[in-house]
Structure 1
Amino acid sequence: SNSFCTLLKKNSATMQGNLSYLNPGGMQARKATALQINCGASRGLQEVLKSNLGPRGTMKMLVSGAGLVKITKDGNTLLGEMQIQHPTATLIARAATATDDETGDGSTSTVIMIGEMMRQAERYIQEGLHPRVITEGFDLAKQEALNFIKAGSLNVKVEDGPELRDVLTSVART
């Protein structure tokens, strides 16, 4: 029993040493601190982009290292130009740009939605709810949203286009 504890301590110390060797400049954080840091990163990205949303969204001025100025309110452009360092913020930015690449829009909305989901998750975790319950809730909500979209969708065939032109034009304007 005593030799087992000694072996366990030795292996644990070796593992910690190996982890430090893999990333000597890395930070160690307790789970509560890691949660705060990750939620803070998502809120920071959300704060930067939320004022861009909608027709009355504000423009942002980007200045390159060479002094070139770019003015935009496009979330995808902003995310592409920003030098994001935090891994969680980088993951959110990639999800948002993937949304834009796939649909042609929605990068700002994606960042805002993820930021709000993280804000709510943090609140519930602080109230004592286990993160697994929250992720299961996110999965259920995703499935319900997909069901809602499927129930409200309309299958359109190319040959039906002329008759549905007004409907499709109306949808495109929303």
Structure 2
Amino acid sequence: MSYTNNQNYFKRSLKIFSIAVALFLISFILSIIFNPSIDIFTSLSNYVPSTLNNSQGLNKVWKYIMHNGVQIPWQMLFLFLIPIPFLYALNMIFTSIISGVAFGFAIHLSFYKGTIMVISSLPHTLLEILAMCFIVSCLYKLNRAIIRKICNFFRKYKKNKLFL
């Protein structure tokens, strides 16, 4: 039985986090440079699930917590079962890019209000992305084990070590 070294897990998580922050910054800068219309910024709310869009007050907060804290990790968990490397990281990648684009559009449309929005929601965004990075780091090893099992099924000489 093999074990995962915690130090490697955290290093891998921080590497993935640095990639996610780089994607966030690139999309943020590009969305500030290019001139978006107000329709594009308002149409971002069309991609919010209808259950979240129709809620009010604390019920809306609870639905966001359930969506971001339960449904997204379950999606990632099901995607890691497919033996395609880094497919489970798509949620993290899209979250990073969409957050950068939304922040960039907000600053471009109204510098003062956009800056307030970015400063107030940046800690939550970074914590959410960091949490996804820890999940991706864990699923990376599990996905490699699944891929190794499938590859061993077709190999003449089996590789025993699942975690490299």
Q: Could you say which structure has the greater relative contact order, defined with CA pairs below 8 angstroms and 6 or more residues apart?
A: 2
Which entry has the higher C-alpha Rg, 1 or 2?
Answer: 1
Q: Which has the larger share of helix?
A: 2
TM-score class, shorter: under 0.3
> If the length of structure 1 is used for normalisation, what is the TM-score?
0.23
Task: Name the TM-score, length of structure 2 as normaliser.
Answer: 0.24
Q: Which has the higher strand share?
A: 1
